[in-house]
Chains A and B, each alone.
Chain A
Amino acid sequence: MTEPTPWRSQTTAVQPSGGGSNLADVLERVLDKGVVIAGDIKINLLDIELLTIKLRLLVASVDKAKEMGIDWWEHDPALSSAAAREEDELALENRRLRDHIAALEGEDAPALRAGGVEADRAAARQRRQAEERER
């Protein structure tokens, strides 16, 4: 025993944090701090739903939070798998839109040079098709 340290003995005058501590304070430490040693059960708290947990945990209960109108984590992809799915779709849609824009811009250039109504119509047609595909 190199460190025979009953370290609490000096601090009895202070009210200990003990079991009555604020849940947020406890979670902040046991989830976020403390030594990380790779156990046999691979659970990466940081990767998965840790944030969900962390935030939801800060409330006494999720239902209570919802009653209070606090549900923003449900819209944050980092915090909710449902929102993550939405986010995926959104990202997909964004990518599709970007592709369309690139395609349209690519065609606009010759269209502008030609100054033709036909080109405008083609672009509009493409836009419509793009919109339909989005649906």
Chain B
Amino acid sequence: MSGGESAAYVYALTRPFPAGAVRELRGVGEHPVRLVAEDDLVAVTSAVPLREYDEDALKAKLEDLDWLEAVARAHNRVVDEVARHAVTLPLRLATVYRGDDRVREMLRDGRHRFGAALSRLAGRVEWGVKVYADPAASSSAPGPSGTPQTEARESPGKAYLRRRREQRQRRDDTWEQATGLVREVDEALRGLAEAREQHRPQHVRLTGERGENVLNAAYLVPAERSQPFLDAVARLRERAPGGTRIEVSGPWVPYSFASVADEPAAETAGGAAGGPADAGRRAGAGGGPSEGAP
């Protein structure tokens, strides 16, 4: 591929590791994965045809579900694989440069902040935890009054109203219990994690899950503390009231915690911002926005 025709799709930044480890690995569009190194930083890339990844092409293709799914899964696959060999800072989908020289330039320019982010994520994994509330699933439980389905001298109208009342009661109970469970889960897991990020609840109608997704959170956990974390989830799950459900995904490369400082702090405010901004920046420098109490 000649220079003008090809672009560099970047999956992730890492510390150096033997290139042989990814020799067989294929990325987006089945293109081979190549490492572009600059000093002690490595960009994990694929050479892709520029015409397929320029602004216009991407705009059009991002609308194409099949394409998007293939690219997203390929992106995640490469990130996952690379993370087996070195600490990995995953980039957002479709980060594209006009050639390796530009990639090296990016690595040089961001050396410090990338380095800081890599150090923060080294040895950490991300666990995704979701809580679902599903009133329908608790229907087998007896109603609050413990009444059986039929009552001897109950008129159809009364029976209907009673059933409706019980249904509503069940729904209210489930929500209340789910809310309590969310608090309990989050408190317990937060204590075992270094940081936590809340994702938007997923639309269950679209994911095909049952019930309503009431908590969708990600926890940053040192890899060696994964087992205690999962044990805690298992304990929570045992105690989860009927109609609620806890699900775990992972371990993920810590996508949800892969932020880098925007710019060198000294440059950002330029003296214009007052004290609060400074305080915020200092707090943020510690390790991401997620650490503060809500």
Contacts and interface: CB of A to CB of B under 8 A. Distances in A.
Nearest to A70: B205
11 contacts: A7-B125, A11-B226, A21-B76, A23-B73, A29-B255, A34-B91, A37-B106, A40-B102, A41-B54, A43-B58, A58-B207
A19 B125 CA distance: 17
A8 B72 contact: no
Interface in A2-18: 2-3, 5-11, 13-14, 16-18
Interface in B132-180: none
B95 A37 contact: yes
A59 B122 CA distance: 34
A83 interface: no
A129 B218 CA distance: 58
Nearest to B202: A24
A66 to B, nearest CB: 12
Contacts of B54: 41
Interface stretch (B31-39, B77-85, B186-194, B274-282): B77-85
Given A8-B223, A19-B77, A3 B249 contact: no
B262 to A, nearest CB: 9
Top 7 A-B pairs ranked by shortest CB distance? A3-B122, A58-B206, A29-B255, A33-B255, A41-B96, A34-B92, A7-B223
Given A24-B206, A26-B72, A30-B255, A35 B89 contact: yes
B80 A18 contact: yes
Interface of A: 1-3, 5-11, 13-14, 16-19, 21-37, 39-43, 45, 48-50, 52-53, 55-59, 61-62, 65, 68, 70
B62 A21 contact: no
Which of under 10, 10 to 19, 20 to 34, or 35 or more describes the interface residues of B? 35 or more
Contacts, number: 190
A50 to B, nearest CB: 8
Contacts of A7: 83, 87, 122-125, 223
B214 interface: no
Contact of B94 (A16, A19, A43, A52): A43
Given A24-B202, A29-B255, A57 B16 contact: no
Contacts of B181: none
B226 A10 contact: yes
Contacts of A26: 72-73, 76
